[in-house]
Amino acid sequence: MPNCQLLGPYELPTYEGQEVHYMRDDNASMNSGIETPLIAPNTVHGAVDYKGRPVTRSNFGGWRSAWFIIVVEVAERSAYKGIAGNLISYLTGPLGQPVATAAANVNLWIGTGALLPLLGAFVADSYFGRYRTIVLSSVVYILGLGLLTLSATLISYSSSKSYSPQMRLVLIFISLYLVAIGLAGHKPCLQSFGADQFDEQHPEERKSRSSFFNWWYFSICSGMLLTLLILNYIQDNLSWSLGFGIPCITMIIGLVVFLLGTRTYRYTIQSYEKSPFVRIARVFAAAIRNRKSTLSAVATKQEAHQSFEQFRFLNKALLAPNGSKEGGESCSITEVEEAKAVLSLIQIWTTCLTFGIVFAQVSTFYTKQGATMDRKVFPGFDISAASLQSFGNLTIVLLTPVYDRIFVPIARSFTSKHSGITMLQRIGTGIVMSMIGMAVAALVEMKRLRTAKDYGLVDKPDAIIPMSVWWLIPQYTLDGVSHVFTMVGIQEFFYDQAPTELRSMGVALYLSVIGVGSFLSSFLISAIEEATGGDGRDSWFANNLNRAHLDYFYWLLAGLCAVSFVLYMHFAKSYIYNKKGKL
């Protein structure tokens, strides 16, 4: 980018050819000494253009910039789903892995790809900034996809003697984990960078930002819908090499589109000299250091705002080392509030983990279920088992506009909230939907097993069970409904409620729900496989699904969802929204 001087995460802007007057920022830390420029009414506070100059609301950011970023996300999600959606079929097919092993490997990779964004968010928020992190991680992502395509090509067109089974797995997993590293920087930064294009202090732009999260998810699910219908068919019926090569090309196009929007974006100015992670760590260290000290509750209540009663032990970070409010360096009220906000988010995050476990089943056992059933759409054409996931995406595509354009305005007229219902109400509704979805999946699996028994197909794992694959539509549909509520809800919640300078980390927290959920799913599968298999017994996840008991597993997950929902309600009732969340 010629003459581009993008800001680092803690640099103040320089304005070429302009005399700028600075004023004290009352919202900054009392120890930071940071000053911000006086700005015109139409200028967006706290944002600059790609050269570090003040930006006007009419010429930078908003939907004009957000659509560049949404297109990039559609490309990335299409590429990712083109791999993840059918990966279990590739591992159990060309690579010959057992079902339980392949499912565990898929969950491990998905989990890693969803947890690494925590590291990527740290790097972005502390060092590189979101824009640079997106560009660098996109390059790594493309390298991983390219190597995956090359690996599949070598395996397809080389003799079995050229590459041992171990060598094949090494090539594939190096490729997959390069993609996971690319996800580390791409996922937490792109969505937060898109939301940064809307000014939360402006009433209309705040409404647009809430709508942005809905249309963000609508767009990526539309892209994934096409991927599942077309790309999975190519992989199953034409070529795995071509099926992996198309996502690579798609990701390259996405990076080009992102760079084209560079001159239109708003770049956020960070207000502090200290890393936000250092500030939060300092609060915990100070609270521990002063744990035996006492603090006037009356004086503190006047300073610590409405969150005084939450995590009271952190209030002691306001004390100087000698136990008083003076005579040494104490943490500021803003820093203590940041630390409390992070702890509050972690409580909600913990109760959403079961949703992440349920999420992992869609691309693994749901797909294997469908592969055993009658998938005939019309004579001569069978739908791909992985393409069944498109029904969940289709539900999201159809329901999201209804939610955004019909439900939200109606709810807003009753609640006076810009989002219709609160973010926590939205998340809780989705958790209930996921619980119902697992119960429905268990009932359908029970019928599938009975049908296999009635037709004498229990010991014929390769036989197609005379039960239409359309029986799976309800569980895919309920999965889609739960995503419209919970997935979009946690995206907006963790972005909106995270401290301003930790918003990449906020998005990473939502992603880590899926990551940790995938790891927990992998752990559950391994533990149950060990407990129910052996001694000649068929485990719940036997390679012959007609002798397995996925129905038991689904009932277990439905029960875990119920327990998680009870805990979620407890934490949600006591949660205190920050000022941004009240608008």
Span 564-582, pLDDT tens digits:
999 999 999 888 877 554 4
Element housing 378 (H / E): strand 376-378
pLDDT at 158: 58
Q: Does any domain span residue 42? A: no
Note the pTM of the prediction, 2 decimals: 0.71
User: Is residue 124 over pLDDT 60?
Assistant: yes
Are both 317 and 457 inside the same structural domain?
A: no
| Contact status, residue 178 vs residue 110, Cβ threshold 8 Å | no
Are both 142 and 211 inside the same structural domain?
A: yes
Q: Does any domain span residue 492? A: yes
| Contact status, residue 325 vs residue 545, Cβ threshold 8 Å | no
- Name the most confidently modeled range: 34-38, 68-72, 365-369, 514-518: 68-72
Using a 10 angstrom Cβ sphere, with 0-12 exposed, 13-18 middle and 19 or more buried, the burial of residue 547 is: middle
Q: What percent of the chain has pLDDT over 70?
A: 84
pLDDT at 286: 82
Are both 541 and 409 inside the same structural domain?
A: yes
DSSP string, 408-446: HHHHHHHH--TTSS-HHHHHHHHHHHHHHHHHHHHHHHH
pLDDT in tens, 189-220: 888 888 888 887 787 877 788 788 888 888 88
State the pLDDT confidence band at 139, using cuts at 50, 70 and 90: very high
User: ∠338-69-580 over CA atoms, to 5°?
Assistant: 30
> What's the total number of domains in the chain?
2
pLDDT at 171: 83
User: Is residue 487 over pLDDT 80?
Assistant: yes
pLDDT at 22: 38
Are both 291 and 408 inside the same structural domain?
A: no
pLDDT at 30: 34
Q: Please name the residues in contact with 31: beta carbons below 8 A apart, sequence gap of 6 or more.
A: 329, 332
| Contact status, residue 444 vs residue 471, Cβ threshold 8 Å | yes
Are both 507 and 370 inside the same structural domain?
A: yes
In which domain, by residue range, is 322 found? 276-336
Element housing 343 (H / E): helix 333-351
| Contact status, residue 487 vs residue 218, Cβ threshold 8 Å | no
State the pLDDT confidence band at 289, using cuts at 50, 70 and 90: confident
pLDDT at 165: 65
Q: Does any domain span residue 408? A: yes
State the pLDDT confidence band at 40, using cuts at 50, 70 and 90: low
Using a 10 angstrom Cβ sphere, with 0-12 exposed, 13-18 middle and 19 or more buried, the burial of residue 566 is: exposed
Q: Does any domain span residue 347? A: no
Between strands 381-382 and 373-374, the pairing is unpaired
| Contact status, residue 44 vs residue 199, Cβ threshold 8 Å | yes
pLDDT in tens, 451-485: 999 999 888 888 888 998 899 999 999 999 999 89
Are both 98 and 239 inside the same structural domain?
A: yes
Are both 311 and 429 inside the same structural domain?
A: no
